[in-house]
Amino acid sequence: MQSVKIKSALISVYYKDRLEPLVELLKQHNVTIYSTGGTQAFLEEQGADVVAVEDLTAYPSIFGGRVKTLHPKVFGGILHRRANESDLAEREQYEIPPIDLVVVDLYPFEETVASGASEADVIEKIDIGGISLIRAAAKNFQDVLIVSSREQYDEVVDLLKEKDGATELADRKRFAAKAFDISSNYDTHIYNYLSKEQDINVFKQSVREATPLRYGENPHQQGTFYGKLEDLFEQLNGKQLSYNNLVDVDAAVALGAEFEEPAVAILKHTNACGCATGETIKEAYLSALSTDPVSAFGGVIIANRTIDMGAAEELNKLFFEVLIAPDFDTAALDLLRTKKNRILLKQKPVELPAKQFKTLLNGVIEQDKDLKTETETDFKTVTKREPSAEEKKALVFAAKVCKHTKSNTIVFATDKMMISSGVGQTSRVDALRQAIEKAKGFGFDLSKTVMASDAFFPFPDCVEIADQAGIKAVVQPGGSIKDQDSIDYCDAHNMAMVMTGVRHFKH
């Protein structure tokens, strides 16, 4: 059957808002409506004549409402095949009325979990009857239209107005696909909730919120962001975030979270080209900018304090793509908004996922986020010379930036700012030499800095090159079979070295 005139409908929804126009339309077409409980009361308030499901089934709602619609007269009315003579004969035999339209809005499981409700309350929000109705109606899309979310009410009202209360097969198939999206997403969130403490090695994710991007990493690639950016940011100005913006913003948020004191980081291609702390955000920004003002052009900037007018006046002198901060003073925001394409994001205090994953080959790899950040208590001095108190603070700072920089990497820093880095090199020696050249290029004296490495030194050449550049304190994970060679060199040249035992590869 291609065209089906809707003559009967079953409506069972948790949220009643936005339902009125659909109810009014069904009334106009004299559609028989079946319902139960709170939905029935709401429909009757709208002036609809409603047949109680309990009257249809001759069975009451039981177990506190856990069982209401689970009955052959309900599911038979949905699932019987209108073109099948045997099904029609059984329908007549058992006096099962046909149901042409099913409207369901499921119990709010995700919202209940997000609210921090108890496990007992969460479990009660696992919908059984509703999800079963959705699957049944979607399976029988040849004959039945399924409306599986209140987000679809406007669309179905427009459809039924356009087609005078009827639907075509293509319409029903489209809504069936949406229904299985709803049901699979619902089940995935239930699984992820229940499996947190279980050893079930299965990868399941479902993200329904999709934002098409202008393009992907390059203009010839399509791109889409799946997620709720509005939960993390309020965009106060600027154009739509691009694929590359989002990648850099993700890296900026991760690095920004490392600092408690006022801090600013400037990133390009996910790597910090400047990072500093200060008494004020203005001071931190100017220090971060001085590290590499060339690379800062067109970058992504994150601050962990409110952007005031003093900071805004300095920031406004630079062309940058994105600025992230927890808040903006009114005058500062007005100034920064003078560039209409400049993206300004107010960051909300949201807890981010502790897992990360990406596609690879013909599958997906998943891992725990690297949430380990070393402090002075994690340092094990392996050389004769102990780092000074000032050097230890600098080593902590350098290690924080190093953790968020592409491997192989070397970072030079003081206790308040990154001086330079060598990033994404195929050898640690190349990363070191790159960092040295960048520091010299911007006029920094490396004798006042310390060095951090994301992984161990397989040979003593790195500490030797660092020593010749003026470095006198180093932090690294350790773990090479030739660690002692590097330690011996440091001891022979009055260098201090600490090991953390934690590698921070970042590919």
List, by residue number, the catalytic residues: 139, 269
Which DSSP symbol is given to 387?
P
Vertex 14, ends 11 and 20: CA angle to 5°?
55
- Which of left, alpha, beta for 365 (phi over 0: left; psi -120 to 50: alpha)? beta
Residue 451 is encoded by which pair of tokens?
């060095």
Q: Contact 300/266 with Cβ under 8 angstroms?
A: yes
| Residue 246 near residue 225, CB atoms below 8 Å | yes
CA–CA gap between residue 409 and residue 425 (Å, rounded): 7
Phi-psi region of 327 (alpha: psi -120 to 50; beta: other; left: phi over 0): beta
- Nearest 10 degrees: CA dihedral of 162, 166, 171, 173? 170
Cβ 148 vs Cβ 138: under 8 Å: yes
Q: Distances from the Cα of 419 to the Cαs of 80, 297, 435, 449, in angstroms?
A: 73, 17, 9, 8
Strand partners, 309: none
Neighbours of 494 (CB within 10 A): 11
Distance separating alpha carbons of residues 79 and 458, to the nearest angstrom? 68
Amino acid sitting at position 340? K
The torsion angles phi and psi of 42, rounded to 5 degrees, stand at -65, -45
Contact 373, 400 (CB under 8 A): yes
Calpha distance 29→51 (Å, rounded): 16
**CA torsion sign, 492 to 495 to 501 to 506?**
negative
Q: In the structure encoding, which two tokens stand for residue 494, read together?
A: 């009055």
β-pairing verdict for 210-212 and 224-226:
antiparallel
Question: How far is Cα 333 from Cα 55, in angstroms, rounded to an integer?
Answer: 62
d(CA 182, CA 203): 19
Cβ distance 484 to 478 under 8 Å? Answer: no
